[in-house]
Amino acid sequence: MALRMTHLPLILILAAGAASRMRGGDKMLEQVAGVPQLRRIVNAACATGAPVRVALPPDRPLRAAALTGLACEQVLVANASAGMSASICAGIAGWTGAVMILPADMPDLDTPMLQRMLACHRQDPRALLRGSSGAEPGHPVLFPADLVPALRDLQGDAGARPVVQAAHNRLRLVPLPDRAALTDLDTPEDWAAWRAARPEA
């Protein structure tokens, strides 16, 4: 599914990682309220009305299958093993507007939180926005359009950190509920602890 340019930022969901700390499992397919986490977060992004791209590895067909029927563009990252920067570069190819980067392994983020990020961008389109828990910055990160070219030059697994650091004077934190901006789950133990604290999940 090809996306058309809109006035809304692109939401780029990073889901091409190897999930190596899951010891054979796939955190993207962990169930959250009966739905694979990857499908849940992509559905939440699609519900904002913004265009959505999902960066996927070429060797995990079950991730792509989990997105069946969702209004998103799937981008296969041939060199996903090169690190997060490869996913970002592939995901923003051909896009010239603002971009919100969202890791796929954050189960507490939902549509209203993403809408809050988009609303803050409408109010201040030149700000570099980061979701936060109090004063602690986390994800997602929304890059204004003029910073997107710098994302194309990223290398390695540092992700977009160099661009964020270079534009620190434009940084604005967007408080999100509880620890939603910080909670990413990388191991079976992380998932077990998260579920223990949320019986409904």
Output the six-digit token pair for 133: 């828990």
> What CATH number is attached to the domain comprising 133?
3.90.550.10
Output the six-digit token pair for 154: 């990223």
Query: How many angstroms separate the Cα of 108 from the Cα of each of 33, 41, 93?
Result: 12, 9, 28
Cα–Cα dist 93/160, whole Å: 15
Q: pLDDT tens for residues 22-59? A: 675 789 999 999 999 999 999 999 999 999 999 999 99
Residue 169 lies in a domain: yes
Output the six-digit token pair for 85: 């920067």
- Please check whether residue 191 is in contact with residue 198, taking contact to mean a CB–CB distance below 8 angstroms: no
SS3 readout for 70-102: CCCEEEECCCHHHCHHHHHHHHCCCCCCCEEEE
Residue 43 lies in a domain: yes
Q: How many residues does the chain have?
A: 201
Give 143's strand partners.
Answer: 99
Nearest alpha-carbon partner for 92 in 82, 102, 105: 102
Cα–Cα dist 135/173, whole Å: 8
Residue 116 lies in a domain: yes
- Of 152 and 156, the one with more pLDDT: 152
Is residue 198 predicted with pLDDT exceeding 90? no
Q: Peptide bond before 140: cis, by omega within 30 degrees of 0?
A: yes
Q: pLDDT tens for residues 60-119? A: 999 999 999 999 999 999 988 888 899 999 999 999 999 999 999 999 999 999 999 999
Domain of residue 103, residue span: 10-196
pLDDT at residue number 167:
96
Residue 5 lies in a domain: no
Cα–Cα dist 163/155, whole Å: 11
Residue 201 lies in a domain: no
Residue 188 lies in a domain: yes
Residue 1 lies in a domain: no
Output the six-digit token pair for 21: 């700390």
Tell me which H or E stretch contains 143: strand 136-143
Cα–Cα dist 57/188, whole Å: 21
Residue 186 lies in a domain: yes
Number of domains in the chain: 1
